[in-house]
Amino acid sequence: MKDYDFRVGEVLLIHKPYTWTSFQVVNKMKYLIKHHPSLMLDNKRVESKIGHAGTLDPLATGLLIVCTGKQTKNIEQYQAQEKEYTGTFYLGATTPCYDKEKEIDAYFPTKHITEELIYTATKQFIGKIQQTPPIFSAIKIGGKRAYDIAREGKTAEIKPKEITITEFEITRISMPEVDFRVVCSKGTYIRSLAYDYGLALNSGAHLTALCRTRIGSYKLEDALTLAAFEKELIETNN
């Protein structure tokens, strides 16, 4: 059982559940640690800062680094580290948000897509590339979030930015689904990679599953579920 000190600072590895936002995870954890003994100072309860190092979309699962206390000062350092993801692309169809949160808006031919093409198309994404974030994203355009503009039914120009993909491999092909593993830099949108990969196949594609498996040297296999974290706190408080 870990001896936590949330006021001094902790770096917590959490397995974000499916459909939860990263913000909801942080709020849940803040609630759970509220009455922890480490937050008592001179018989008075003190607040502990808490934040996460890198947002995961609601439909994504996987590693979320949550920092408390003085460790929140290092959040940017964790955010900047290399990330690894696994997931699934659905070939032959696109959605407005590039994942399955919204309905399919267009279908594309797939009969011409061979296994060889599926493998070779990954090569053009290796290295430093320009990537345009999805319109349904938290990118700010003129002081307004892109997803707010999109929800109003409006369009806006989002400038591409440079990212780095060091590894992009196909791990399973079962048309129209393709599983992948990607190692990339901070700021990479895997939803945009799905869309661009569909274009590279002269077709369309969207993301149907995503899991973040690593941030720097921190691995998902070492993360706790929220239920396991709550159990640890209950045992500590008792």
- pTM here? 0.90
Q: What is the pLDDT of residue 32?
A: 87
The answer to whether the Cα torsion of 20, 26, 27, 33 is positive or negative is positive
Specify whether 57 is catalytic: yes
Considering only residues 43 and 125, tell me which one the structure prediction assigns the higher pLDDT: 125
User: Does residue 154 carry a pLDDT above 60?
Assistant: no
Q: What is the pLDDT of residue 171?
A: 98
Domains and CATH numbers, the chain: 11-80+217-237 (3.30.70), 83-215 (3.30.2350.10)
The answer to whether the beta carbons of residues 110 and 202 sit under 8 Å apart is no
Closest CA to 192 of 134, 121, 119: 134
Residue with tokens 């290092």: 74
* pLDDT band at residue 40 under the 50/70/90 scheme: low
Tell me the backbone φ, ψ of residue 62, rounded to 5 degrees. Answer: 115, -160
The answer to whether the beta carbons of residues 225 and 17 sit under 8 Å apart is yes
Closest CA to 235 of 34, 43, 5, 36: 36
User: Does residue 9 carry a pLDDT above 70?
Assistant: yes
CA atoms of 186 and 237, how far apart (whole Å): 37
User: Does residue 153 carry a pLDDT above 70?
Assistant: no
Q: What is the pLDDT of residue 46?
A: 60
Catalytic residue, from 5, 42, 57, 105: name it.
57
Q: What's the half-sphere exposure (Cβ side, CA atoms, 13 Å) at 206?
A: 20
Residues in the chain: 238
User: Does residue 113 carry a pLDDT above 70?
Assistant: yes
Q: Tens digits of per-residue pLDDT, 168-226?
A: 999 999 999 999 999 999 999 999 999 999 999 999 999 999 999 999 999 999 999 99
The answer to whether the Cα torsion of 20, 104, 204, 132 is positive or negative is negative
Q: What is the pLDDT of residue 235?
A: 73
Q: What CA dihedral angle connects 196, 197, 200 and 205, to 10 degrees?
A: -90
